[in-house]
Chain A
Amino acid sequence: MTSIVKPRIDKHLRRNQLGLTVRDYEGVMSTLCAGCGHDSVTAAFVQAFHEMNLEPHRAAKVSGIGCSSKTTAYFLGQSSGINSVHGRMPSVATGAAAVNPDLYYIGVSGDGDSLSIGIGQFAHAIRRNLNMLYCIENNGVYGLTKGQFSASADIGTKAKYGEVNEQPPIDPVLLALSLGATFVARGFSGDKKQLVPLMKAALAHKGFALIDIVSPCVTFNDHKGSTKSYAHTYEYYHPVIHADFVPEEAEITAEYQDGGAITVPMHHGGNVTLRKLGRDYDPRDRDQAFHLLRTREGSEVLTGLLYIDETKPDMGDMNRLPDEPLNVMDYSKLCPGSAKLAEVMKGYS
């Protein structure tokens, strides 16, 4: 089986400022199960990039192994991508971003890839405040190996054939908050209206932007008794903050209710406007974020941009990297030449 190229029918589609339609941001045909949450996330990536008027080839997609990691082939077909080894995407992204900070790095991972085999690399990418959008397509289950629990499975959730999980889950949002992540969000594959603006805000963020996306597995984890099913997620889904990315040139015209809006100016230009939905909550306050998540009621799935800090240095700042990307730096700037070597040699004679 080879990858299937999608037919191009885009005559009547809306064109963005670059004259491109959403088709220009798509990839090859998905090979995931019909109804998979991940395909909705893929569609959200396409929409976010299109709406932000980003050149499709200026992104670099990175992923590990698993159903989620396969999806980097299904969007941004004009971008380069690297589908690496299981749980190790953050390291590949780190090296890539270090030598060329000018691309948009899009990491797609799963709960197995990020919270089990790759939890170490996930944690350290956060510590480095690597400038990337990191999405975990979280379904609580191993899909490609047919239905084992993952580390994000809730206590009491049931597997397809009845087994009950008794180990506590690892919540990537809480983990990221405690490790000092600078952009922490949760979304749901079933709510593109929330997810697309979150992705846009994350792309505008300088530093590590995590979006944990509840993305149900229709084949192995969508039954009664599963806490990561569509039905369960819809029932307990609770958006607390709505994020909108407003580009520099656009005026903020929307009227916000429910306690008004918070505007966060983004390092790369534009603003993120945060609209509170019913709770008195400021996502710039890390303590409030912890408190909110720890005091949620029962199975409540709190979503939105839960924490943002636009002031922290990212990996490039901390390593005093030059403005000119290292990957295109001329050899004359890298090789000190024979005279310098002769000088160095004096110290060893």
Chain B
Amino acid sequence: MNAVTGTSARTRVNDFVIKIANVNGTGSASANGLLMKAIFRMGIPVVGKNLFPSNIQGLPTWYEIRVTGDGWTGRSGEVDIMVAMNLESYARDLKDVSPGGVLIYDSTWPRPSLLSRDDVTVLGIPLARMCNENFANARTRVLMKNMAYVGVVAALTGVDMAVIQTLVEEMFGAKPKLIPPNMQAVEMGYNYAKEHFTQPLAFKLEALDKTSDCIMIDGNTAAALGCVYAGASFGAWYPITPSTSLMDGFKSFCEQLRVDPETGKNNYCIIQAEDELSAIGMVIGASWNGARAFTPTSGPGISLMSEFIGFAYYSEVPAVLFDVQRVGPSTGMPTRTQQGDILLAAYASHGDTKHIVLFPANPKECFDFAVEAFDLAERFQTPVFVLSDLDIGMNDWMTPKLEWDDSRRPDRGKVYHAADLEKIEKFYRYLDVDGDGIPYRTIPGEHPKGAYFTRGSGHTKYGGYTEDSAAYQDVLDRILQKWKNAATKVPGPEIVRCGKPTRIAILTVGGCDGAAKEAIARLNAEDDLDIDYLRVRAFPFHPEIENFIANYDTVFVLEQNRDAQLRTLLVTETTARKDQLVSILDYAGMPANPHLIVDRVREHIASQG
């Protein structure tokens, strides 16, 4: 095999992207995770993105590992080392490599000679042949090929083999028999690369100490933990990508943390419903009865739940809904990411309905906002949405360790319990006793005085059925007031000022956070532009958002949908002027990267002369 040649660029330490192209269903996920975790354990910040098809076996799949010593949290948009294990996507994978990059392929079979590039170093390793020679079982051979390329990348970039050894031991803790063959495969790749590629690559890892307070976790798992810690005791759901792992996580944490050690009974209940309509109905039933209840779903599920969401809104039953957004409309691209449900969530259901929506940007916020969502839902007696997305929900993110304050108690909102009911003459469910728009509720069956009738039909403030215009309006207006009051109780925006006077800002939401911040830094370094930053974290909009926008001539609104849904919401719900808000729309289904943002900002500024 050839030695490495043609890498004239300067060496890049802890700043490059490894992309692994593979076939879905070949077990590559654990090998890719191992490689990323090894770099993370070396103290070097990483960003991992699993770009997978809606398929169980056979279609192309990619895994991207961005090594970022500077700690950026988004994709870079470059590919420096491509591990091209899928013949079917080989041509495209070669094309994706950035100039000066490296392509690693399985040289067991000849590579079509046409598919080569002068500005890319191509390295062949006979991975299949080595695995066939060393492992007997057909499935093992396929699996070990993945471990072997981990070894190759480790040798070429400088991954600490001791770290890999530890991780493999952790990985197969329950099946120690699998440790030696897996290590053998890693070493096979490692040794081959060391022997055959003697010249150093331009991409190098050097251990840092930047990850010791961090974990690698996906947003769905973090949200599931949030539900456990919030004290949610009931969850209903219907399986849908990309939200399924949220309920899987909740189930496994509950099995671990919520089974009564004495009785063996579950201090939780999870029901897999027949569809999403039923899932939200169950949540409403459980919540009406006084438990903390939630459902995780994705856009199509929200569409189906819409009627019940309006019911919960109007009859003032708390509910927590996680919408892990995927690409729409319709079935769309179920394994790709988007922020296409912003307007849907904000106004879900027929008639006048406005909801509380929280927008986490990373797994840490998925945890925090899950906890927050239950408090808000019970405080305001209304459905609350946590609008995550596939990128946040399903990818492993480096995030600070999740922590819990043991003095924290849930805010159950305004509830009359038996003792309170004894003291009052008569209870009316929808009466604004305190003048804050929030009535008291009771736990059904707890006390005869607390009985009330919940209905989605017109009702008076005393809870009776009505078709009287004034009585109807009275209740509907109070519900709006309640929603408006929530604006200062929801998480406020994240604001980062550049520290210099400027008339330009970028405003965004959710997982675009990392890409936006990186774009701002690049525009500052390369174009000398000073840009302030705001990330919306909840709806109704905190007053700070409106105040912020008023300070700029141009606010770029970055979001991941075609129709500028966040911008629409800002124009509708704040005093922001349409001409102030310039859209940057990145809705192709991939996690955001800074390129598009930098280009759009430059284009706009150029067009303004």
Contact = CB atoms under 8 A, between A and B. Distances in A.
Interface stretch (A72-80, A243-251, A289-297): A72-80
A165 interface: no
B282 A95 contact: yes
B281 A94 contact: yes
B267 A341 contact: no
Interface stretch (B3-11, B132-140, B403-411, B501-509): B403-411
Interface string B238-272: 00000000000000010011101001111111110
Contact of A83 (B256, B404, B454): B454
B289 A327 contact: yes
Nearest to B217: A348
Given A2-B465, A319-B269, A334-B233, A327 B281 contact: no
Contact of B278 (A2, A79, A88, A337): A88
B216 A96 contact: no
A248 B106 CA distance: 78
Given A58-B445, A100-B290, A331 B456 contact: no
B215 interface: yes
Contacts of B447: 57
A77 B451 contact: yes
Given A1-B466, A3-B464, A80-B444, A91 B215 contact: no
Interface string A314-349: 000001111100111101011111101110110011
A322 B263 contact: yes
A336 B450 CA distance: 31
Contacts of A103: 444-445
A342 B215 CA distance: 11
Given A96-B285, A98-B282, A327 B291 contact: yes
Contacts of B380: none
B460 interface: yes
B582 interface: no
A57 to B, nearest CB: 4
A3 B462 CA distance: 11
B455 A60 contact: no
Nearest to B399: A348
A57 B269 contact: no
Which residue, B256, B283, B284, has most C-beta atoms of chain A within 10 A? B284
A85 interface: yes
B405 A99 contact: no
Q: Residue among B444, B447, B456 with the most chain A CB within 10 A?
A: B444
A81 interface: yes
Given A80-B445, A103-B445, A322-B267, A96 B288 contact: yes
A127 B279 CA distance: 15
A92 to B, nearest CB: 4
9 contacts: A57-B445, A57-B447, A79-B451, A88-B281, A99-B293, A103-B444, A322-B266, A334-B268, A349-B216
Given A331-B409, A334-B228, 8 more contacts: A84-B311, A85-B311, A91-B273, A95-B287, A96-B289, A123-B274, A319-B269, A348-B216
